[in-house]
Amino acid sequence: MSKSYRVAVLGATGAVGKELLELLEGRNFPIADLKLLASERSVGRRLPFGGENLPVEPVGDRSFEHVDLVLASAGGSASKTWAPKAVRSGAVVIDNSSAFRMNPEVPLVVPEVNPEAAANHKGIIANPNCTTILMTVVVWPLHKVRPVQRIIAATYQSASGAGAKAMEEMKTQASAILSGKQPVAEIFPYPLAFNLFPHNSPLNDLGYCEEEMKMVNETRKIFGNQKIRITATCVRVPVLRAHSEAINLEFETPLDLKEAREILSQSPGVKLVEDWKTNHFPMPIEATGKDEVLVGRIRQDISHPCSLELWLCGDQIRKGAALNAVQIAELLVEKNLLKGSLASVRS
């Protein structure tokens, strides 16, 4: 009999939490027991899973007793509070916040890129930032064949990056504007409907925002290469779900376009979408709900013989967050790195 696992989802009522539940069920993750955890304000809610409606419990000091795996997506402060307690209780935590990503003791894992890093955990594994995940899934297979010297990224980030409330706020703003009313911004600093603005995370002394520095620092850690030159400009755009990125890659030596397309067409987690005759390339509306990162419009950079341009779109909630976490959990199961028990899987 194969192992099954006692799983807790922290932040179960959020956009990523709900996606985690859908993926755990849809991918038949071997669950013996499932615990849904959230803040006090979510107590009393029930969420569907496996044909049942499971109660949401308030997270507390004893929430992680007899738990093998915690999938956390409740924000950095919650992760800093509860992840160490879960580890002390014997669980492995896969954390979706930024709390532990740059901790040298914590692996930062994208399964298509550095799956071997998951085995080096000390109780916590960090899920990278959404824009980083989408970019590295596409860039890594090219980098393995022809080392990348420099990455220039411009992101076009949807409302989903700020959660379910941000998505609803944008809908409300759009409705208000179309009705001739003034849009109200509460989640974001400015109205996002029919608008765009540079990413609203804090700025450093160099003028780079936190989101941009996440892409720089996390990519270097995931690739295990601190010498790659990376710069990014991150922008919020009025799209509900799925992020887009324009990427310029400078290689050591020229990479042929045909070879680049062949590499990407065979790369795990990537789908090549290119129809040059109809000018059809990846779009957020087509990436929404998809597991793969869509990539296309791959072309030679006319300003540099060793550079290529490409365009990608990926579902921020799915591959950019929940799916990556579940894939890490599947890696742990595959490598027998979770305790678990020889018990029947929850039906």
The residues spanned by each domain of the chain are 5-128+322-334, 131-316
Active site residue 243: yes
Among 14-28, 111-125, 329-343, which stretch is predicted with the lowest mean pLDDT? Answer: 329-343
pLDDT of residue 346: 59
- Give me the helices (H) in 161-292, please: 164-178, 210-223, 257-265, 284-287
Pair type for strands 31-38 and 52-58: parallel
More confident position, 281 or 2: 281
Active site residue 130: yes
Catalytic residue among 121, 130, 143, 199: 130
Query: At 238, phi and psi to the nearest 5?
Result: -80, 65
Q: Say yes or no: domain 5-128+322-334 is CATH 3.30.70.20.
A: no
At residue 347, does pLDDT exceed 60? no
Averaged over 20-28, what is the pLDDT?
A: 98
Tell which CATH architecture fits domain 131-316: 2-Layer Sandwich (3.30)
Quote the Cα angle for 244-245-249, to 5°. Answer: 160
Find, among 114, 132, 129, the residue nearest to 247 by Cα: 132
Instruction: Tell me the per-residue pLDDT of 168-215, one tens digit each, with 9 for 90 and over.
Output: 999 999 999 999 999 999 999 999 999 999 999 999 999 999 999 999
At residue 341, does pLDDT exceed 90? no
Query: How far is the C-alpha of 285 from the C-alpha of 183, rounded, in Å?
Result: 24
At residue 344, does pLDDT exceed 80? no
Catalytic residue among 121, 143, 199, 243: 243
Single-letter residue type at 42: S
At residue 10, does pLDDT exceed 80? yes
At residue 167, does pLDDT exceed 70? yes
Global pTM value: 0.96
Angle 323-334/15-26 helices, nearest 10 degrees? Answer: 40
Averaged over 45-69, what is the pLDDT?
A: 96
For residue 28, what are the contacts with CB-CB under 8 A and spacing of at least 6? none
Q: What's the whole-number average pLDDT of the chain?
A: 96
Q: Classify the C-alpha dihedral 93-94-95-99 as positive or negative.
A: positive
Query: How far is the C-alpha of 164 from the C-alpha of 4, rounded, in Å?
Result: 31
Query: How far is the C-alpha of 31 from the C-alpha of 16, rounded, in Å?
Result: 19
Query: How far is the C-alpha of 217 from the C-alpha of 3, rounded, in Å?
Result: 36
